[in-house]
Chain A
Amino acid sequence: MSDAVLVSTKVNGDVVEFACPTDEVLMDSLRDRAGMNGVKEGCGTGDCGACSVTLDGQLVCSCLVLGVEANGREIGTVEGLTEDGKLHPLQEKFIEHAALQCGICTPGFLVAAKALLDNNANPTETEIRYALAGNLCRCTGYDKIVRAVQATAKDLRKSKKR
């Protein structure tokens, strides 16, 4: 039996509190205790990026963070991308460009792509491919994902100019 610790954290802006076994990874806490099932488990060892979230704004693999580490910190998951039930432009472009098939990698790609665009409004294709190198997709061959991110960046730049 592992010790449990009370964790108080913010997930997508909402305060969430739960008793967290000390050896539980954040990915499991988010899925099983905070109901954020958009966080997916792929490899569980930080290679595939399906569990990508932001921790205090920093992109991380939630399988490589302990749930207890989230105490007092802020987490962002794919569920936080939508606003008032409206899809984020990245989500719309992923659909438009058919940038997914089975979908298990998609939340991680969306969170990682948003982290990229938040820091770089006009990434080159090479920059996009490097930024998403920590996210594995076995369906699309990546090209459609790269196109979707490029198209989103372009639209976001246009809407900012207006």
Chain B
Amino acid sequence: MRYESPATTKEAVALLAKEKGAAFILAGGTDLLVRMKMGLAEPDLVVDIKRIPDMNTIKTTQTGFRIGAGVSGAQLTAHKAINKAWPGVVEATHLIGSDQIQGRCTMAGNLCNASPAADSVPAMIAAGAKAIVVGKGKRRTVPVEKIVTGPGKTSLKKGEVVEAITLPKPAKRTGDAYLRFTPRTEMDIAVVGVGISMTLERGVVKKARVCLGAVAPTAVLVPAAARALVGSKLDDAALNKLVAACAKACNPIDDKRGTAAYRTRVAGVLAKRAAKIAYKRAGGAA
């Protein structure tokens, strides 16, 4: 196994594009090293991106935030402005593993590992996050919901690497929230996760995004659930429509963490609760 720690994204892309064997990107390593230990990944080349300055920093831009792909959960949690702008995204990312894992894990890694139960992903999608994908000679900006195509699968092509995740600058009176259900409060994998963001005008929901995790092969953005909220002040009728839309969007599996029926039920319950938190954070009267 060759280990490379390039200093620029360009070098990283060149290394990945050139490699004929199995090439892996090492961000936090909290998934890759487990897979290596279990024999599920046998890299010929590992490209460590954490020494690339552009991938290691959080930048505040005119349009929002640019979070490098190597930025750890701990770095994100310590960033005051992002906590204020997108608390749901920070909370979701903070749910990934223990403090030890937080010291290493990254949002981009959580995304590219492509687990249906990744905690940060529904929150990112609800917030309208985008991935900056760099390949040989070109760079594209892709909505986060277009990256994962199935369990363990992404739309990234050979030689492509996510350089950063961007979060928009939230419009005034915007709030977001992420809730997940797990049997244990820490160190567990989501049975269901729900990310919601919304923007209010005079207490009425003007815009919303609702994204479900762990209830389908990928995180699912549910426009019908968002429509249920728009135009409402989160009255019971709107919340009931939200629950129904979420249940309809669920396509879960039965496994040891929960049955499909249970997951479908819980998705609606969490969506309601997350919507109330996001509404309050957006300045709506609770």
Which residues of A approach B to under 8 Å, CB–CB? 2-3, 5, 22-23, 25, 44-47, 49, 52, 55, 58-61, 63-66, 68-69, 112, 115-116, 130-131, 133-135
Query: In the bound complex, do residue B100 and residue A134 qualify as a contact, i.e. CB atoms below 8 Å apart?
Result: yes
B23 to chain A, nearest CB (A): 13
Taking CB atoms and an 8 Å cut-off, the chain B residues in 1-29 that contact chain A are 1-3, 5, 26, 28-29
Which A residues touch B99, using CB under 8 A?
Answer: 59, 112, 115-116, 131, 133-134
Do the beta carbons of A65 and B3 come within 8 Å of each other?
no
Interface residues of B (CB under 8 A from A): 1-3, 5, 26, 28-30, 33-34, 36-38, 43, 46, 48, 50, 72, 74, 97-101, 103-104, 185-187
From B30, B50, B187, A69 is in contact (CB under 8 Å) with B50
Residues of B within 8 A of A3 (CB): 1-3
12 contacts between A and B (CB under 8 A): A25-B33, A46-B33, A59-B99, A59-B103, A60-B103, A64-B30, A66-B26, A66-B33, A68-B5, A69-B5, A112-B100, A131-B99
The 5 closest A-B pairs by CB, nearest first: A134-B98, A133-B186, A22-B3, A58-B103, A60-B103
Whether B26 lies near A60 (C-beta < 8 A) is no
In the complex, the answer to whether A64 meets B29 with C-beta atoms within 8 Å is yes
Chain A contacts of B34 at CB under 8 A?
45-46, 64
* Cβ contact within 8 Å between B104 and A60: yes
Q: A66-B26, A131-B99 are in contact. List 20 more A-B contacts (CB 8 A).
A: A22-B1, A23-B1, A25-B33, A45-B34, A46-B100, A46-B101, A58-B74, A58-B103, A61-B100, A61-B104, A63-B33, A64-B29, A65-B33, A66-B29, A66-B48, A68-B3, A133-B185, A133-B186, A133-B187, A134-B98
Residue numbers in A under 8 Å from B38 (CB-CB): 45
Q: Give the Cβ gap from A57 to chain B, nearest Cβ, in Å.
A: 9
Shortest C-beta distance, B187 to chain A (Å), equals 6
Closest to A4 in B: B3
The distance from the CB of B189 to the nearest CB of chain A, in whole angstroms, is 11
